[in-house]
């Protein structure tokens, strides 16, 4: 009950900060200012958790205290996602029926590029995530798309994330009104309350990181996507970024959107951009 109260109400200060972050530098003309947003977002977490090294935010709840960090380090010795890495590496190298591979679809052969996704495709006018790019690669080579939430997609993204470990998130927002609109839409989705429990993403991951809800320690929003995809004990399997978004909506009794919907892609764009400068730590493992 105590944990639930913490989630429902948070502190008065945190609630005020959430509101401030949600409206950072919006002028009378509603100018979108990603540079101001990232500065305010990161500074909030750096000040809220002054003892956490900035790069450690990429490790989610394991960054919250030394005991949890030790748990994570021990888990990394025999990671539960190792099976997905092996499967992903094999799939990545296996040719399609036409003889091409995933490497033919991506810059640098798809190795060490996780930190650049999602990106805004100026030709299409929309955000393209790594999951979406992988399925488009498959379809362009005559293969059926994979599920966006687990199994093969989770294994492929796990392998690609692993090849980028330690590289800093580097998301670009081009000087294009459509890109700015996508960023702002993602920000709006992140802070909007929804569902029977009237939660927003920020209710848990800005107001209450480090708090427990049942057996789970809530992760800070800063760096939350750097560890994706993740193995979760409650799933007993790997899950993609899409699966995490769908699960979060379900847990707050909101109606989940379709994986890779515009809203989910835009919120991934927002959360990835505000994590710029933090290292890729995926694939990860969570309770």
205 among the known binding-site residues? yes
Tokens 């933090």: give the residue: 278
Residues paired with residue 212 on neighbouring β-strands, in sequence order: 217
- For the residues of 90-107, what is the DSSP string, one character each? HHHHS--TTS--GGGGSG
Cα–Cα distance for residue pair 44/19, rounded to 1 Å: 12
The contacts found for 147-151 with CB under 8 angstroms, 24 or more apart, are 148/240, 148/242, 148/243, 148/259, 148/260, 149/239, 149/240, 149/242, 149/243, 149/246, 149/259, 150/235, 150/237, 150/238, 150/239, 150/240, 150/243, 151/237, 151/238
Residue 111's φ and ψ, nearest 5 degrees, are: -100, 130
Instruction: Determine whether the annotation assigns residue 114 to a binding site.
Output: no
**How far is residue 159's CA from residue 166's CA, in Å, rounded to a whole number?**
14
Tell whether residue 165 is among the known ligand binding residues: no
Which one of 15, 26, 91, 248 is the catalytic residue?
248
Asked whether residue 244 is marked as a ligand-binding residue, the answer is yes
Q: Is 248 annotated as a binding residue?
A: yes
Specify whether 125 is catalytic. Answer: no
Which residue, 14, 228, 52, is CA-closest to 130?
Answer: 228
Please state the residue numbers annotated as binding site for substrate: 244
- Binding residue positions: 105, 137, 201, 204-205, 244, 248
What positions carry a catalytic annotation? 248
Binding-site residues for heme c: 105, 137, 201, 204-205, 248
């Amino acid at each position: 009950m105590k944990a639930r109260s913490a989630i429902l109400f948070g502190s008065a200060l945190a609630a005020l900060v959430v509101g401030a972050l949600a409206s950072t530098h919006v002028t009378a003309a509603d100018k979108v200012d990603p540079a101001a947003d990232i500065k305010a977002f990161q500074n909030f977490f750096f000040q809220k958790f002054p003892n956490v090294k900035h790069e450690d935010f990429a490790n989610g709840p394991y960054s919250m205290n030394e005991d949890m960090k030790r748990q994570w380090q021990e888990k990394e010795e025999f990671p539960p996602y190792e099976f997905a890495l092996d499967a992903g590496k094999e799939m990545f190298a296996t040719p399609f029926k036409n003889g091409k591979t995933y490497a033919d679809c991506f810059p640098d052969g798809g190795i060490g590029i996780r930190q650049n996704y999602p990106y805004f495709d100026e030709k299409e006018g929309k955000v393209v995530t790594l999951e979406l790019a992988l399925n488009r690669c498959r379809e362009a080579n005559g293969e059926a798309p994979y599920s966006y939430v687990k199994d093969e997609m989770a294994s492929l993204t796990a392998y690609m994330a692993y090849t980028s470990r330690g590289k800093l998130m580097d998301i670009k927002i081009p000087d294009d009104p459509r890109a700015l609109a996508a960023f702002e839409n993602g920000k709006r989705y992140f802070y909007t309350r929804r569902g029977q429990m009237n939660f927003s993403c920020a209710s848990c991951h800005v107001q209450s990181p480090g708090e427990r809800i049942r057996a789970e320690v809530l992760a800070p929003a800063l760096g939350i996507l750097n560890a994706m995809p993740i193995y979760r004990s409650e799933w007993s399997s790997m899950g993609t970024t899409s699966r995490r978004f769908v699960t979060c909506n379900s847990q707050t009794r909101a109606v989940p959107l379709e994986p890779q919907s515009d809203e989910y892609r835009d919120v991934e764009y927002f959360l990835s951009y505000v994590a710029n400068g933090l290292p890729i730590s995926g694939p990860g493992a969570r309770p």
